[in-house]
């Protein structure tokens, strides 16, 4: 009885402490809201110049949220539709054309097959000058999108220039659906392939439909491509994993400060392909829901992960409605894969003196084990079982992309060559590449390589240490050699430049599907995945922990990246 009274006493004290703490928190919130409201009022009334009250408030809100993490953000009423399109829905009313701004001019970049722009023969390279009678010169990207989008069945009047002629077309908007699965099918050697670009509404069903169609062809393995997939809806990730693992299997657990934010997600349905060998492709841009899929399938020893280390976003966001049709997206939890690891890379709770979130220290990383006993680690993303180092574009190629030189040549190539036989096998001939190089004679190809930047830094440091006179000759000699070297870049990086140019050209004939198919012939990760299916003993060895972390190519270096 005495022990019981003691327990009640302790419980009562705890409740009292929690109650006091809760009241104190409420007081601090109320106090600071009062201060903020009073400050906002005084600024708007007394500041020497006119102020934009809504913009002032948004600036304050954004600054407050920026101190937390990049995923916690305020969404005003004017941006709600764009938010839904980016994070939730894949549908909107429009014409099915993407645009690009080059030297202040708006051009059609690509049209989507089967949609209004395609049906009305709008072409990449068309320069749009008016939309519904409104001149678009000087308009921001968001304003242009608002002009092109609208309710299904409404017209869009376009005035554009093609080959020097001004043309006008009235295009009727349709419901544009951007699929989550941009490509699926067989990629040779009896291998099925599904490319998933995002985890928005219905992505689980889209992957299931693609998988069922592939299964009709009796594949010997499946490749799920999550490269460059920045994630989306957590529940859709669980549905996709469910296609490959049994019912009632724990896939991911989210844990937040509030108890109600701690949720365990399990599979709910029988699988579609429980025994079919599976490879998941990831890279440094595979994040969030992509990492849930890759990490859980790795933890459950259901798939072999191939590629590069994933992004490392282990945070969960939830939206909350605010007054006047606005809302806020808040990071409410971290997620943990079946082994118990969290793959979050950056520590937003402890930023450095410059306000920058840094990686969790290696000493804080913990080891976990997969279902079969393989070692996996927390923090720093999902590490592949088979590492295939990514190709990095050279400075000359990046320079030409930024200056839209590939874009312009692809348009001219399409004009001069009305037909292309096949997307899958297309390669640019040496004669065509030489013709492309000739078009660059009057173009500005000025750029600074990494070596040149380092040389510039070295010159500055030499001046600081009063040693510039001593090393001047050496620096000038090195600068000359770099200048000479840059003149040969078009030859040295020919194969890389050709691949980028081929991608642009193919899209003019075969659109997105053709662009993906053409890239297969150069895809090292895809080739590595296909090779695994041809070596079953190696696959089994990896899944047993006897052959993981194999590197194909040069040793991979750890490089810091910023969200």
* Global confidence as pTM: 0.85
User: Would you give the DSSP letter of residue 180?
Assistant: S
Residue 20 has phi, psi (to 5 degrees) of -65, -45
- Tell me which of 69, 126, 225, 299 is the catalytic residue: 299
Q: Does the active-site annotation cover 299?
A: yes
Alpha-carbon gap, residue 262 to 311, rounded angstroms: 23
Distance between CA 213 and CA 147 in Å, rounded?
Answer: 38
Q: What is the pLDDT of residue 131?
A: 96
Q: Which one from 112, 184, 203, 288 is the annotated catalytic residue?
A: 288
Rounded to an integer, what distance in angstroms lies between the CA atom of residue 231 and that of residue 550? 26
Residue 294 · residue 286 · CB < 8 Å: yes
- β strands within 323-394, DSSP E: 326-336, 346-347, 358-359, 367-369, 375-377, 386-388
Reduced to 3 states (helix: H, G, I; strand: E, B; else coil), residue 532 is helix
Contact in structure between 343 and 310 (CB atoms under 8 Å): yes
User: What is the rounded distance in angstroms from the CA atom of residue 505 to the CA atom of residue 426?
Assistant: 9
Q: What is the 3-state secondary structure (H, E, C) of 403-420?
A: CCHHHHHHHHHHHHCCCC
As a whole number of angstroms, the distance between CA 403 and CA 127 comes to 16
Q: What is the pLDDT of residue 6?
A: 42
Question: Largest alpha-carbon pair distance within the chain?
Answer: 96
At residue 251, the pLDDT reads: 98
The H or E element containing residue 181 is strand 181-186
Token pair 């930023």: residue: 351
User: Is residue 507 within 8 Å of residue 515, measured between CB atoms?
Assistant: yes
pLDDT on residue 200: 94
Print burial letters for 236-255: b (CB count within 10 Å at least 16), e (below 16).
Answer: bbbbbbbbbbeeebbbbbbb
Among the listed residues 195, 313, 345, 486, the single catalytic one is: 313
Residue-wise burial string across 274-300, b where 16 or more C-beta atoms lie within 10 A, e elsewhere? eebbbbbbbbbbbbbbbbbbbbbbbbb
The dihedral through the CA atoms of 77, 79, 82, 85 has a sign that is negative
CA distances from 411 to 160, 450, 490, 508, 517 (A): 15, 31, 21, 7, 20
Q: Is 145 noted as a catalytic residue in this protein?
A: no
φ, ψ for residue 47 (rounded to 5)? -60, 145
Q: If you ran DSSP here, which 8-state letter would residue 71 be given?
A: T
288 is catalytic: yes
Query: Between β-strands 367-369 and 375-377, what pairing exists: parallel, antiparallel or unpaired?
Result: antiparallel
Cα distances (Å, whole numbers) of residue 460 to 44, 46, 99, 471, 474: 46, 47, 41, 12, 14
d(CA 473, CA 57): 56
Q: What is the pLDDT along the chain (563 residues), one digit of tens a residue?
A: 444 444 333 344 444 444 445 456 778 888 888 998 999 999 989 999 998 988 898 899 999 999 999 999 999 988 888 888 778 877 889 999 999 999 889 999 999 999 999 999 999 999 999 999 999 988 888 889 889 999 999 999 999 999 899 999 999 999 999 899 999 999 999 999 999 999 999 999 999 999 999 999 999 999 999 999 999 999 999 999 999 999 999 999 999 988 888 999 999 999 999 999 999 999 999 999 999 999 999 999 999 999 999 999 999 999 999 998 999 999 999 999 999 999 999 999 888 888 889 998 888 889 999 999 999 999 889 999 999 999 899 888 998 898 889 998 999 999 999 999 999 999 999 999 999 988 887 777 776 666 666 767 766 777 777 766 666 666 666 655 555 455 678 888 999 999 999 999 999 999 999 999 999 999 999 999 999 999 989 999 999 877 544 444 433 333 222 22
Question: Which run of H or E residues covers position 386?
Answer: strand 386-388
User: How many other C-beta atoms are found inside a 10 Å radius of the C-beta of residue 506?
Assistant: 25
Residue 313 structure tokens: 């976003």
Helix (H, G, I), strand (E, B) or coil at 165: strand
């Amino acid at each position: 009885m005495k022990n019981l009274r003691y327990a009640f006493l302790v419980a009562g004290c705890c409740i009292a402490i929690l109650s006091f703490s809760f009241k104190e928190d409420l007081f601090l919130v109320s106090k600071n809201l009062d201060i903020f409201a009073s400050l906002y009022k005084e600024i708007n009334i007394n500041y020497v110049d006119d102020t934009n009250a809504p913009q002032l408030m948004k600036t304050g809100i954004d600054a407050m949220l920026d101190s937390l993490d990049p995923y916690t953000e305020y969404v005003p009423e004017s941006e709600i539709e764009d938010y839904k399109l980016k994070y939730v829905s894949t549908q909107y009313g429009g014409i099915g054309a993407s645009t690009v701004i080059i030297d202040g001019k708006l051009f059609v970049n690509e049209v989507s097959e089967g949609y209004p722009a395609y049906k009305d023969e709008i072409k990449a390279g068309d320069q749009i000058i008016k939309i519904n009678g409104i001149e678009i010169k000087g308009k921001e990207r968001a304003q242009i999108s608002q002009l092109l989008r609208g309710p299904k069945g409404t017209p869009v009047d376009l005035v554009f220039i093609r080959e020097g002629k001004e043309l006008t077309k009235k295009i009727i908007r349709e419901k544009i659906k951007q699929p989550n699965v941009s490509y699926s099918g067989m990629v040779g050697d009896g291998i099925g392939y599904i490319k998933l670009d995002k985890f928005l509404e219905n992505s689980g069903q889209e992957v299931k439909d693609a998988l069922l169609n592939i299964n009709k062809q009796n594949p010997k393995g499946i490749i799920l491509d999550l490269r460059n997939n920045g994630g989306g809806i957590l529940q859709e990730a669980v549905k996709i994993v469910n296609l490959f693992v049994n019912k009632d299997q724990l896939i991911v657990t989210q844990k937040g400060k509030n108890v109600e934010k701690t949720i365990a997600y399990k599979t709910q349905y029988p699988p579609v392909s429980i025994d079919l060998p599976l490879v998941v492709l990831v890279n440094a841009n595979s994040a969030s829901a992509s990492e849930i899929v890759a990490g859980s399938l790795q933890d459950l020893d259901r798939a072999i992960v191939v590629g590069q280390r994933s992004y490392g976003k282990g945070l969960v966001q939830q939206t909350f409605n605010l007054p006047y049709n606005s809302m806020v997206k808040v990071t409410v939890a971290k997620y943990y894969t079946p082994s118990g690891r969290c793959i979050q890379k950056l520590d937003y709770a402890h930023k450095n003196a410059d306000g920058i979130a840094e990686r969790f220290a290696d000493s804080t990383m913990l080891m976990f084990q997969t279902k079969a006993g393989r070692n996996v680690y927390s923090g720093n993303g999902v590490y592949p079982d088979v590492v295939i180092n990514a190709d990095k574009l050279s400075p000359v190629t990046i320079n030409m992309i930024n200056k839209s030189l590939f874009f312009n040549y692809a348009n001219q190539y399409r004009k001069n060559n009305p037909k292309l036989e096949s997307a899958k096998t297309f390669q640019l001939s040496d004669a065509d590449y030489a013709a492309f190089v000739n078009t660059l004679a009057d173009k500005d190809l000025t750029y600074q390589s990494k070596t040149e930047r380092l040389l510039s830094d070295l010159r500055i440091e030499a001046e600081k240490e009063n040693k510039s006179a001593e090393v001047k000759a050496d620096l000038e000699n090195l600068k000359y050699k770099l200048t000479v070297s840059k003149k040969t870049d078009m030859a040295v990086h020919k194969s890389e430049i050709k691949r980028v140019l081929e991608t642009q050209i193919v899209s003019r004939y075969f659109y997105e599907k053709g662009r993906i198919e053409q890239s297969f012939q150069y895809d090292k990760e895809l080739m590595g995945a296909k090779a695994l299916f041809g070596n079953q003993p190696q696959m089994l060895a990896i899944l047993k922990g006897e052959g993981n972390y194999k590197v194909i190519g040069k040793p991979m270096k750890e490089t810091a990246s910023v969200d």
